[in-house]
């Protein structure tokens, strides 16, 4: 693998990369049938200046390991977080007919969980993910691999002070809902049809105190089994798709 570059696997991830205008430095394409199937995507990357190389499937399999490469791997510059200023600019210009749906991750430091949360966020149509500068996983190659293209398609905003950022979100009319096992209100009884920021805390510790105090309300998942909590990425998917369900029925 070319040094200092992140490997981006699969058709969706590479297409998302190109749609952002991030042309990969190098593009590996599987020899044979996949090469013909991916012609349009390959030519788009080539026109942008990518160096296209053909490799046997065994090499792509060895590089991707458990990830699905679908016959294509792009090697691109590491991702960077979106700035806090760009988040406020986006909200100031927000189209009022579409209420924003934001995901806030407080203290999610595991790269696999972070990548899985981004994948759920992309699937649910989340408009942006907000993370604190400290106590957060980086946008690493592993995150991109687990996210399967979501790290390229969902804006991830890094804020200096999360509690202060949540207070600023309220000025834009965004309702802050945190998740906590001791909450009295169930997830399915909460309201997510308006401007919403859903806050997920780290596994075990949950949200930090100042983050919790910044929330307008807290909700919990109904747990019928013997375990007391779910993996944060699983819980994130459930919560986000409850918001999706409500918005579709509204």
Residue 135 lies in a domain: yes
Per-residue pLDDT of 175-188, as tens digits, reads: 999 999 888 999 99
Per residue in 84-105, pLDDT (tens digit) is 999 999 999 998 788 999 999 9
pLDDT tens digit sequence for 96-153: 788 999 999 999 999 999 999 999 999 999 999 999 999 899 998 889 888 888 898 8
Looking at the structure, tell me whether residues 116 and 198 fall in a common domain.
yes
Q: Are residues 113 and 10 in the same domain?
A: no
Q: 44 and 153, same structural domain?
A: no
Tokens representing residue 82 in the block = 């979106």
Alpha carbon distance 133, 124 (integer Å): 24
Beta bridge partners of 176: 197
Q: For tokens 């919790």, name the residue.
A: 212
Domain range enclosing 14? 6-76
Tell how strand 26-30 and strand 6-9 pair up: unpaired
Classify residue 156: in a domain, yes or no.
Answer: yes
Per the DSSP assignment, residues forming a β-bridge with 158 are 131
Q: Does 1 reside within a domain?
A: no
| Annotated binding residue 17 | no
Residue 229 has pLDDT above 80, yes or no: no
Residues 23 and 110 in one domain: no
* Radius of gyration, alpha carbons of the chain: 19
Look at residues 45, 76, 107 and tell me which one is the last residue of a structural domain.
76
Residues 49 and 107 in one domain: no
d(CA 242, CA 144): 25
Are 89 and 187 within one domain? yes
Terminal Cα distance for the chain, rounded: 48
Measured distance CA(226)–CA(20) in Å, rounded: 44
Looking at the 3D structure of the chain, how many domains does it have?
A: 2
221 annotated ligand binder: yes
Tell whether 110 and 67 lie within a shared domain: no
Regarding whether 237 and 123 lie in a shared domain, the answer is: yes
Give per-residue pLDDT as tens, 191-218: 999 999 999 998 778 899 999 999 999 9
Does a structural domain hold residue 43?
Answer: yes
Question: Which pTM value belongs to this model?
Answer: 0.88
* 142 plus 66 within the same structural domain: no
201 belongs to an annotated ligand binding site: yes
């Amino acid at each position: 693998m070319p040094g200092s570059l992140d490997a981006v696997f699969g058709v969706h991830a590479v297409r998302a990369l190109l749609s952002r205008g991030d042309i990969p430095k190098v593009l590996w394409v599987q020899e044979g049938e996949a090469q013909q199937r991916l012609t349009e995507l390959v030519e788009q990357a080539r026109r942008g200046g990518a160096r296209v190389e053909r490799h046997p499937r065994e090499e792509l399999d060895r590089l991707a390991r458990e990830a699905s490469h679908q016959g294509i791997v792009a090697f691109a510059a590491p991702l960077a977080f979106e700035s806090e200023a760009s988040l406020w600019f986006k909200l100031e210009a927000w189209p009022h007919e579409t209420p924003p749906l934001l995901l806030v991750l407080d203290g999610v430091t595991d790269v696999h969980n972070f990548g899985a949360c981004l994948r759920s966020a992309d699937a649910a149509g989340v408009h942006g993910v907000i993370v604190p500068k400290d106590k957060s996983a980086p946008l690493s190659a592993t995150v991109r691999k687990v996210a399967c293209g979501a790290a390229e398609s969902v804006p991830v905003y890094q804020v200096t002070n999360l509690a202060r950022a949540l207070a600023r979100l309220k000025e834009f009319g965004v309702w802050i809902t945190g998740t906590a096992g001791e909450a009295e209100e169930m997830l399915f009884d909460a309201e997510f049809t308006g401007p919403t920021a859903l806050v997920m805390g780290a596994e075990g510790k949950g949200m930090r105190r100042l983050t919790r105090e910044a929330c307008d309300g807290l909700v919990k998942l109904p747990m019928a089994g013997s375990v007391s909590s779910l993996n944060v990425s699983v819980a994130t998917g459930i919560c986000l798709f409850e918001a999706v369900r409500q918005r579709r029925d509204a």
